[in-house]
Amino acid sequence: MNEADITTYYALDLDRTLLDTVKAADLFRLVVAEWSVELSRALAQEVEDYSLRGKSFSMRDFIAERVGEEQAVEMEAVFIRSVADQNLLNDGARELMAAITALPDADFGILTYGSPTGQLMKIRAAGLSNIQNLVTREAFKGQQIASWRGDDGLYHIPEALGGARATTVVLIDDKSFSFQGLAPDCRGYWISPLRETGEEHPIVTVVPVRTLFEVVDQELAFVADNTVKLPASN
């Protein structure tokens, strides 16, 4: 096997993982209401319907379909300006990214499922434009990550996510099905605040957690336990 560029690549989900999606949606609807209260109400109903079905929904695409792309671009710009002083990230998101950044042999990026225009709007609104990202139409991210593995045994991270060759990938996501197909030599953290105590994920390398702070604690412990200790020099 060739030498890896990094040991670990962290693929971070956006909605309900890094991003407080409910707060972002509420603030976007307030902006839409400045144009049309009726449209804002229709948007709220669509968000609720899709949430009940556990489906991905693009607020940005919904608006563009009804008022046209030109006005949707204007609404998006107003939305991003209006939330510039808001924190749209979930608790622990900044701490997680800081902890990964501090690791000597790791990198991370946002791997998010959905509409490119809708997801990129939320990335910009959350102040995450400086983070490398890939918007995918593959719901089973574990399978997608498995496809990154090359003949050399390394994970060849897509250029949009940095392009490194990694020994392993850690997926952090709120959807249970996202981990389908995740290879045994990868790890995952299933963010599930409302899960039943003791509920386990069917993939043994995926750890159910309630908060991103738990991910930080467990990953730092894992890295410490698996760091090669060199003998002290005389």
CA dist., res. 166 & res. 168, Å (int) = 5
Q: Report percent pLDDT > 70 for the chain.
A: 92
Residue 124 has a pLDDT of 97
Residue 3 has a pLDDT of 82
Above 70 in pLDDT, residue 132? yes
Residue 194 has a pLDDT of 67
Confidence of residue 232 (pLDDT cuts 50, 70, 90): very low
Closest CA to 57 of 22, 104, 95: 22
**Most confidently modeled range among 35-49, 64-78, 215-229:** 64-78
* Residue-by-residue DSSP string for 81-92: HHTTTS--BPTT
Amino acid at 162: G
Task: Classify 167 as helix, strand or coil.
Answer: strand
Above 60 in pLDDT, residue 21? yes
Above 50 in pLDDT, residue 233? no
CA dist., res. 166 & res. 57, Å (int) = 32
Q: Are 168 and 159 in contact (CB under 8 A)?
A: no
Burial class (CB in 10 A: 0-12, 13-18, 19+), 199: exposed
Q: Are 133 and 58 in contact (CB under 8 A)?
A: no
Q: Which CATH code for domain 6-18+89-226?
A: 3.40.50.1000
C-alpha 28: how far from chain center: 20
- 147-188 residue pLDDT tens: 999 999 999 999 999 999 999 999 999 999 999 999 999 999
Confidence of residue 198 (pLDDT cuts 50, 70, 90): low
- The mean pLDDT of the chain is 91
Residue 46 has a pLDDT of 86
Amino acid at 199: E
Overall residue count recorded for the chain in this entry:
234
Give residues with Cβ within 8 angstroms of 66, minimum separation 6: 39, 42
Residue 184 has a pLDDT of 95
For the record, the structure tokens of 131 come out as 């983070």
Q: Please indicate whether residue 231 or residue 97 has the higher confidence score (pLDDT).
A: 97
Inter-axis angle of helices 69-82 and 116-125, to 10 degrees? 20
Q: What residue segments make up the domains of the chain, in order of their start?
A: 6-18+89-226, 21-82
- 71-102 residue pLDDT tens: 999 999 999 999 999 999 999 999 999 999 99
Residue 192 has a pLDDT of 87
Confidence of residue 196 (pLDDT cuts 50, 70, 90): low
